[in-house]
Amino acid sequence: MTSDRPFRRQAIKLFARVFLGSRRAHYHSWLPSLEIEGRSGTDPGKANFRGIEFPLRNIGIMSERAGDRIMIIGSGPSVKGADLFSLPERCALLLNGAISLIGMQILEPLAVAIEDERFVWRHFNLMRERLVHREVPLLLSPGVIRAICELDRNFLRDRPIILIDDVRKPYGLPLRDKTELGDFDFVLLGGEAGFSYDPDRGVFQGGSVAISALQFALATGAREIGFLGVDIANANAPRFYEKEGDVAYSGIAGAEARILAHIAVARNVATERGVRLSNHSAMSALGSIGLDYRPLDRTAS
């Protein structure tokens, strides 16, 4: 199956693996044009793309917008037919193609999260059309920031951007092993999975942007976090906004065990904090880790 990345990006990815080695192969995400500067424990820093700077923001800007309830909405088929009009304002944390709901069933989301640059290359027109609220925080990985800037270097101007940095494969640093990760006081390891208590310093990625979104959502202090359209089990079926015959490749089905392991670690953290995690997709694989289906219309707070 062909990649949604342009050929030049595939070539840069191969170059990074061959010439930089496996511990630095992830450098392809930002090479050659994106630099992230000035990050520290208290300063989120800034992104610089070919001389154009974009200040980065921390989780605080998302926490200020969030209420007690956050709904993480993915692109799974289960979104079709869901009644989203009853959701509180600024409740929805939209993942990837769920941005198509903006202006339809979601007037203004809490935030948007995109961490795979392939979505940008395939759906940038959708992003232009739907991401009209410039005050909505965008949770973006280095690769997504770079891809957006390659297509339109002005798109991210004056928007609040929160960096999704992979704690295992951080910007500007080589791959970290378990020993290194275990030395961080903000990291919780659970087998091959993990959880970050401080997403501004990095999050665990594990095959789905829902994992990163959940770590950010828990950091806001919300008391209930729901999942809709995070189906996982039927990831090879068309997403709710796609048509038969025009379905983008998804690696989620093959990564199901890894995704569920990460969410299970986060579920344990949520339980310790008294935060309720709810699954609103009847066909979701989340039921296999104890997040049984709850109809959406019974969760109004």
Task: Write out pLDDT tens, residues 18-67.
Answer: 999 999 999 999 999 999 999 988 899 999 999 999 999 999 999 999 99
Could you read off the pLDDT of 212-258 as tens digits, one per residue?
999 999 999 999 999 999 998 765 555 556 465 555 555 565 689 99
The helix, strand and coil proportions of the chain, stated in percent and rounded to the nearest 5, come to: 35, 20, 45
Structural domain boundaries in the chain: 19-298
Q: Is the pLDDT of residue 298 over 60?
A: no
Judge whether 199 and 221 are in contact, CB under 8 Å. no
- The number of beta carbons lying within 10 Å of the beta carbon of residue 297 is 10
> Which pLDDT value is given to residue 171?
98
pLDDT over 90 percentage in the chain:
83
Tell the CATH topology of 19-298: sialyltransferase cstii, chain A (3.90.1480)
Q: How far, in Å, CA of 145 to CA of 156, rounded?
A: 8
